[in-house]
Amino acid sequence: MKKGFRTFQPQLNTWDTQLHFPTPPHFLNDWRAQIDAAQDQYAALSPLQRAKFLNDLAVNLLQEKESIALIYQQESGLSKARFEAEFQRTHQTICLFANYIQGFDWQKSEELEYEQIRFSKRVLPLGAVLVLGSSNFPLAYSTLGGDTIAALAAGCCVVLKAHPMHAGTSSLVAQCIAQTLQQWALSPFVFSHVLDDSFHWASTFAQERAIKAIGFTGSIKGGRSLMDLAAARPDPIPVFAEMGSLNPVIIAPNQNQGALEQIAQKLALAIHTDAGQFCTKPGLILVQSEQADEFENLLLKALAPLPATPMLHPDIYAKFEARKRQVFQSKGFKRTENQAVLEGIFARWGIAKTQLQDLLNVPTALEEVFGPFAIVCSYQSLAELQTLLNILGGQLTISIFTNDVQPNTKLLSQAQKIAGRIIINGVPTGVRVLGTMHHGGPYPASSDARFTAVGPDSIRRFTKEVCFQTHL
């Protein structure tokens, strides 16, 4: 716990010189002594006050934009354009929630007149929430990302465990929040920023009595560990883990040449942009056997000119390379990779070609490969596709490219059983922050199919209801 750790600079392929130090052990005692009072104080704000607080937070974040941009790009290796998009999305999400909670129905009442009883049901914060920063969205799914914003909007205190590889970005964003709390004369324990490069603080806080829910974006292994910890507590708590997904894309038969080319171009970008480090990256593309070769050629042609980018850190890179090799070496899989000369942790895209009967024999190919990689798989019939959907686990998305006005109803019916979002004639990347968004899906895409991690409805993860029954 005492040793410092460093972040990585993916573009330069070097470790940063600055040391970050894990939050010291005594922080836990301070937090335990203060969290109940902090939660009371913060929950006592009216929705309008919370909305104003969130708006002030957005202002303070905007003021630090340039310094955040610098360290964000340094630590993540992501581009300026990507920073701009992610920063704007984060800023917009704060404002969206500030607006949403002002119109939210925090209380409904009714009266049984003949019995002279008044009932009112109030929506209340669940309590303090533990949020784990993700690796692939240093802003939008991290320190002041969707989980934190939804929790704060609900009236919950937050403990944010920073992703160690974005310790600098996270600390800067945390300072914006601390500053806003100070302006509002609110307890600094309304938002606690903890740092380490191990599982220590995550597992410690996951088991703390005052923590009432956990938000997580990351691997199935990480998410499941938290779910198991939370379920084993004397008082189990809900975990909202948004985990891995294969995001199958089905291309219906009989696409004309132009359409197939367009689809290939869209998918190439979805696979390759930011080194494919998205939970919604399409990982499996199903093409009818007669068009499979043609589609693969178009996809490879679309990928060829795309400039390589580095991955987020050496560990993700190593895992990507290992998983890619694992699938490539499977029986019945043909390998194509980017042939460019690449250095450091710049990602080498890969496309594996196979057919459905072979795919079904390789369980590891049905698990996410995080990075710029996809399987192009040929199918013979609708029946074959149905067999596949039947054995696939939960998915964040399923996409269908089709010429028909209505996609095949059997496919749709199966798709809506296993996926949280179904995309018709579009790619799964680029999740919109909307009231109609559902970002989640059956396990293992997420820990609970009933909740979205994106959009205003995500506040429901962190609220509870209490009935007040008054006999007049």
Positions in the binding site for a second copy (CB under 8 A): 40, 108-110, 112, 117, 119-122, 124, 126-127, 212, 227-228, 231-232, 235-238, 393-394, 413, 416-417, 419-426, 432, 434-439, 442-444, 447-450, 452, 457, 460, 463-471
Cβ distance to a second copy smaller for residue 185 or 467: 467
- Provide the minimum distance between the beta carbon of 459 and a second copy in the complex, in angstroms, as a whole number: 11
Asked whether 446 and 243 are in contact (CB, 8 A), the reply is yes
Q: Identify the residue whose tokens are 């696939």.
A: 392
- Provide the minimum distance between the beta carbon of 412 and a second copy in the complex, in angstroms, as a whole number: 9
- Provide the minimum distance between the beta carbon of 384 and a second copy in the complex, in angstroms, as a whole number: 18
Cβ distance to a second copy smaller for residue 77 or 420: 420
Q: How many CB atoms lie within 10 A of CB 116?
A: 10
Phi-psi region of 392 (alpha: psi -120 to 50; beta: other; left: phi over 0): beta
Cβ distance to a second copy smaller for residue 115 or 343: 115
- Two structure tokens written together for 391: 């054995």
Which one from 75, 86, 242, 384 is the annotated catalytic residue? 242
Cβ distance to a second copy smaller for residue 15 or 468: 468
Amino acid at 255: Q
Residue of 308, 286, 271 lying closest to 381 (CA atoms): 286
- Provide the minimum distance between the beta carbon of 399 and a second copy in the complex, in angstroms, as a whole number: 9
- Provide the minimum distance between the beta carbon of 286 and a second copy in the complex, in angstroms, as a whole number: 18
Amino acid at 309: T
Say which DSSP state 444 is in. T
Amino acid at 144: L
Residue of 448, 417, 52, 407 lying closest to 251 (CA atoms): 407
Say which DSSP state 335 is in. E
Q: Active-site residue 242, yes or no?
A: yes
Strands 14-15 and 128-132 come out as unpaired
| Rounded Cα distance, 364 and 168, in Å | 35
- Provide the minimum distance between the beta carbon of 93 and a second copy in the complex, in angstroms, as a whole number: 16
Amino acid at 14: T
- From the DSSP assignment, how many helices (H) and strands (E) are in the chain? 14, 17
Alpha helices (runs of H) in 273-427, residue ranges in sequence order = 289-303, 314-328, 356-359, 382-391, 409-418
Query: What burial class does residue 85 get, using C-beta atoms within 10 Å of its C-beta: 0-12 exposed, 13-18 middle, 19+ buried?
Result: middle
Say which DSSP state 58 is in. H
Cβ distance to a second copy smaller for residue 242 or 457: 457
Cβ distance to a second copy smaller for residue 16 or 448: 448
Asked whether 237 and 130 are in contact (CB, 8 A), the reply is no
Say which DSSP state 237 is in. -
Say which DSSP state 184 is in. T
The b-or-e profile of 349-358 (16+ CB within 10 A means b, else e) is bbbbbbbbeb
Cβ distance to a second copy smaller for residue 69 or 210: 210
- Provide the minimum distance between the beta carbon of 76 and a second copy in the complex, in angstroms, as a whole number: 27
Cβ distance to a second copy smaller for residue 241 or 352: 241
Residue of 439, 457, 459 lying closest to 449 (CA atoms): 439
Which one from 75, 279, 367, 384 is the annotated catalytic residue? 279
Q: Active-site residue 157, yes or no?
A: no
Q: Residues with catalytic annotation?
A: 242, 279
